[in-house]
Amino acid sequence: MAIPGPLTIDQPFRFDRGLAKRLRMREVNAKEAFTLRDGSGTYFRASVTEYDARGGAAVAYERMSRSPEPAVDLTLACAVLARQRMHTVVQKATELGVRRIIPLLTDHSVPPGAVEQEQAHAWPGHVARAAKQCRRSSLPHLLAPATLDAFLASPLFESADLRLFLDDRADDAPAPAPPERPRRIILAVGPEGGFSDAERPRLAAAARPWVLGGRVLRAETAVLVGLTAVHMTWGDFRNDAAGPLSPCGRGLG
């Protein structure tokens, strides 16, 4: 979330209906804290004093020394998992700074007709609460479930600088870094049992397989390990990590 002017610690400020709408999306109530960015690009923690549909007021009480926003534009495409494990996936992906979450419908994933049984309606709430907990100023985009073929043909997939998919059956080699450090990265993670034999060649023709150790991980564990590995290699967890991208996630001003 952002406001155009500079902020001063302990000085109240007003905000418009746009930010009020974003606070509601974030499930932030009056008297609660939230993160926002001022016109200089500095991030602050602020406390809401009052707001309604027309706008409201808040007070900045802490200047953040580090940005809570990711240094890379990271998209997670995860096969829809059974037994409501997507709750964990969307929550932890939010905490790990993804910009987008795409639930994938694959050969071994939950079938399209059973997505609602996995409480898909609850996923946005888990995203909002995770963003609040980790002090993000933005919410990642949670896209509608898509088939693997539709995802591979999408402009989003085509525009990525680096496209990876986790595959424990590929040659045991790490994904090589491209000549220039990527800014737009896609990580695709399959369901339990992985991507099917029919899907793997289609993925390998457009993305790089990535082997992360010799153990077979649960799908939700693979998501956490894969996102962490991306950040260790190209993103926030590098010692020389670049500054954050301009926020563009859902809920930003």
Query: Residue 79's domain is classified under what CATH number?
Result: 3.40.1280.10
pLDDT tens digits for range 122-139: 999 999 999 999 999 999
Establish if 128 belongs to a structural domain. Answer: yes
Q: How far apart are CA 204 and CA 184, in angstroms?
A: 18
On the question of pLDDT at 246 being above 60, the answer is no
pTM of the model: 0.90
Structure confidence by residue, pLDDT tens digits, 105-124: 999 999 999 999 999 999 99
* Structural domain count of the chain: 2
Which of the listed ranges 117-131, 173-187, 227-241 does the model predict with the highest average pLDDT? 117-131
The model's pLDDT over 88-103, given as tens digits with 9 standing for 90+, comes to: 999 999 999 999 999 9
User: pLDDT above 90 covers what percent of the chain?
Assistant: 81
Same domain assignment for residues 183 and 101? yes
Instruction: List Cα–Cα distances, 51 to 7, 14, 100, 253, in angstroms.
Output: 18, 9, 28, 16
121 falls within a domain: yes
Same domain, yes or no, for 20 and 56? yes
Check residue 253 and give its pLDDT.
25
Question: Residue 89 domain-assigned?
Answer: yes
Per the domain annotation, does 252 fall within a domain? no
Residue 190 is classified by DSSP as -
Based on the domain organization, do 88 and 188 belong to the same domain?
A: yes
| 81 and 55 housed in the same domain | no
- 48 and 130 inside one domain: no
8-state DSSP, 2? B
Between residues 253 and 207, the one the model is more confident about: 207
Please check the confidence at residue 248 and state whether its pLDDT lies above 60: no
In 3D, which of 203, 174, 214, 189 has the Cα closest to residue 109? 189
State how far the Cα of 116 lies from the Cα of 97, in Å rounded to an integer. 25
- Asked whether residue 251 is assigned to any structural domain, the reply reads no
Are 217 and 107 members of one domain? yes
Query: Are both 121 and 228 inside the same structural domain?
Result: yes
Average per-residue pLDDT in the chain?
A: 91
184 with 202, same domain: the answer is: yes
Residue 149 lies in a domain: yes
Torsions phi, psi for 156 (to 5 deg) = -60, -45
pLDDT higher than threshold 80 for residue 171? no
Q: Is residue 226 part of a domain?
A: yes
* Domain extent at residue 24: 12-63
| Distance between CA atoms of residues 92 and 224, nearest Å | 7
Domain match, 143 and 43 both:
no
Indicate if the pLDDT at residue 175 is higher than 80.
no
Whole-number pLDDT of residue 251 = 37
**What whole-number distance in Å separates Cα of residue 230 and Cα of residue 216?**
19
Task: State pLDDT tens for residues 194-205.
Answer: 999 999 999 999
58 and 85, same domain (yes or no): no
Q: Is residue 127 part of a domain?
A: yes
Share of the chain above pLDDT 70, in %: 91
Task: Assess whether 209 and 140 both reside in one domain.
Answer: yes
Q: What is the CATH number of the domain that holds 31?
A: 2.40.240
